[in-house]
């Protein structure tokens, strides 16, 4: 097994999980559920530490140009999220009236698989707190005198510790974690029942998410001149990891490795990948736009542009409040769904069900898109450095 790469292990984990769930041996599935609970809590604990250990030194190493890089990355992530929402809107406007013609607002009660026991591992701080702290530390160090390296050295040592935890604990256990998730989903039957209720919208969402990945890499590879298919292939381990973890933040270690395969500078990877895992949720946006439009059409409401565009703009901001939590995108958007689109409690419950049924694929779209943004930012930094170098040479 050691000789197998991460991608084959992930595929085997998915297939094994489905098999165990199909067999229906509940004690084994509960054992997996117990492991997943413990492992998930540990991931939740380590994620803020990952963000601090990668983002802060990454910003600091970039020096004063980090100020502009932070703005560029955040702006690009927001633009990408809004574009994904608009693509979903126009596709939904054209196709959803046919897809939801016989839409049934029904759901099926599933059997719950509970763990044998659970242990709570509270986070030292919240995800957003960690992100803001990383910004403050990184930008502060980047704008401090060169000789004052004490804090930077501490952060780099801390980064090495977190890297060892990732390399020797998290990555080896991720295939087991994914196997357990698929075993539980299969045994409970939640995914199948939800797909039956929302099949048309579900498949539209999946198709649009794949199309959007292809669009992102078309732009990124055209801009950077990197090989198109190779760049996408290198991100497949992150894509499949995200399908299992349902968490962009939990997939950060694998996303970092995949971005290295695309020959992106280490400083850019350490900065862009953890940052985008928190602020770039284009896959969730596609789901939340198409799903809400489907529910509106099913109840006789026309989701026109005047109604949906402000909602899409707000989604781009609200998604920042949904980091690292499976299903966090829809939870963060519930206020918008209720206040801006006037969805009732039953519709909100169905929206949650739809979102959770495809959350794995939406997360996979998020993290794969992060790799495209990293390519663009890396190329932008290279071109900026080359321009400055040429100016200095001319002078």
Q: Which pLDDT score, from 0 to 100, does residue 196 have?
A: 53
Domains and CATH numbers, the chain: 11-38+78-113+165-394 (1.10.3860.10)
Q: Which pLDDT score, from 0 to 100, does residue 236 have?
A: 92
User: d(Cα 100, Cα 162) in Å, to the nearest integer?
Assistant: 47
Q: In sequence order, what are the residues at sequence separation of 6 or more whose Cβ sits closer than 8 angstroms to the Cβ of residue 272?
A: 58, 73, 259, 370, 373, 374, 377, 378
Question: Distances from the Cα of 188 to the Cαs of 16, 48, 115, 354, in angstroms?
Answer: 16, 31, 13, 16
Q: Which pLDDT score, from 0 to 100, does residue 65 have?
A: 58
- The structure's pTM equals 0.68
Q: Averaged over 187-210, what is the pLDDT? A: 73
What is the C-alpha radius of gyration for the chain, rounded to an integer number of angstroms?
21
Assess contact for 282 and 212: CB atoms under 8 A.
yes
Tokens of 82: 């809004």
> Which of these ranges, 68-77, 301-310, 364-373, has the smallest mean pLDDT?
68-77
User: d(Cα 206, Cα 324) in Å, to the nearest integer?
Assistant: 21
pLDDT exceeds 50 at position 109: no
Q: Averaged over 242-254, what is the pLDDT? A: 81
Cβ burial, residue 134 (10 Å; 0-12/13-18/19+): buried
Q: Is the dihedral of CA 267, 273, 274, 278 positive or negative?
A: positive
Question: Distances from the Cα of 66 to the Cαs of 56, 73, 144, in angstroms?
Answer: 10, 10, 13
Confidence of residue 62 (pLDDT cuts 50, 70, 90): low
CA atoms within 13 A on the CB side of 163: 11
Question: Distances from the Cα of 87 to the Cαs of 214, 286, 367, in angstroms?
Answer: 13, 8, 19
pLDDT exceeds 90 at position 281: no
Assess contact for 125 and 45: CB atoms under 8 A.
no
Tokens of 248: 């962009």
Assess contact for 155 and 57: CB atoms under 8 A.
yes
DSSP state of 326: T
Backbone φ and ψ for 230, nearest 5 degrees, come out as: -65, -40
Confidence of residue 151 (pLDDT cuts 50, 70, 90): confident
Which residue did the predictor score with more confidence, 311 or 165? 311
Tokens of 226: 């990197």
pLDDT exceeds 60 at position 365: yes
């Amino acid at each position: 097994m050691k000789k197998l790469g991460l991608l084959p292990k992930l595929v085997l984990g998915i297939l094994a999980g489905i098999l165990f769930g199909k067999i229906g041996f509940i004690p084994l599935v509960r054992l997996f559920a117990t492991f997943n609970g413990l492992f998930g809590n540990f991931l939740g604990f380590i994620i803020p530490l990952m963000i601090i250990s990668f983002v802060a030194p990454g910003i600091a190493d970039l020096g004063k140009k980090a100020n502009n890089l932070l703005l560029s990355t955040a702006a690009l992530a927001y633009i990408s999220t809004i574009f994904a929402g608009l693509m979903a809107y126009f596709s939904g406007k054209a196709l959803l009236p046919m897809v939801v013609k016989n839409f049934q607002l029904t759901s099926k009660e599933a059997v719950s698989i509970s763990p044998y026991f659970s242990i709570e591992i509270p986070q030292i701080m919240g995800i957003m707190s960690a992100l803001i702290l990383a910004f403050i530390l990184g930008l502060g160090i980047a704008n401090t005198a060169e000789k004052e390296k004490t804090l930077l050295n501490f952060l780099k040592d801390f980064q090495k510790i977190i890297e060892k935890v990732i390399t020797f604990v998290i990555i080896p256990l991720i295939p087991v974690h994914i196997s357990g998730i698929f075993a539980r989903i299969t045994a409970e039957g939640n995914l199948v029942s939800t797909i039956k209720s929302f099949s048309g919208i579900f498949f539209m969402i999946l198709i649009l998410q794949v199309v959007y990945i292809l669009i992102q890499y078309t732009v990124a590879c055209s801009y950077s001149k990197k090989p198109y298919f190779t760049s996408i292939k290198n991100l497949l381990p992150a894509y499949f990891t995200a399908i299992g973890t349902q968490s962009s933040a939990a997939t950060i270690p694998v996303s970092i490795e995949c971005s290295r395969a695309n020959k992106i500078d280490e400083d850019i990877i350490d900065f862009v990948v953890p940052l985008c895992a928190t602020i770039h949720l284009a896959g969730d946006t596609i789901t939340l736009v198409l799903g809400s439009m489907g529910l509106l059409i099913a109840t006789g409401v026309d989701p026109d542009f005047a109604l949906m565009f402000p909602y899409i703009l707000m989604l781009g901001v609200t998604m920042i409040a949904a980091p690292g939590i499976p299903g966090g995108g829809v939870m963060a958007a519930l206020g918008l769904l209720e206040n801006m689109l006037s969805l009732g409690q039953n519709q909100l419950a169905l929206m949650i069900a739809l979102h959770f049924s495809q959350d794995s694929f939406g997360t996979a779209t998020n993290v794969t898109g992060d790799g495209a943004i990293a390519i663009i930012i890396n190329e932008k930094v290279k071109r900026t450095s080359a321009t400055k170098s040429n100016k200095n040479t001319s002078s």
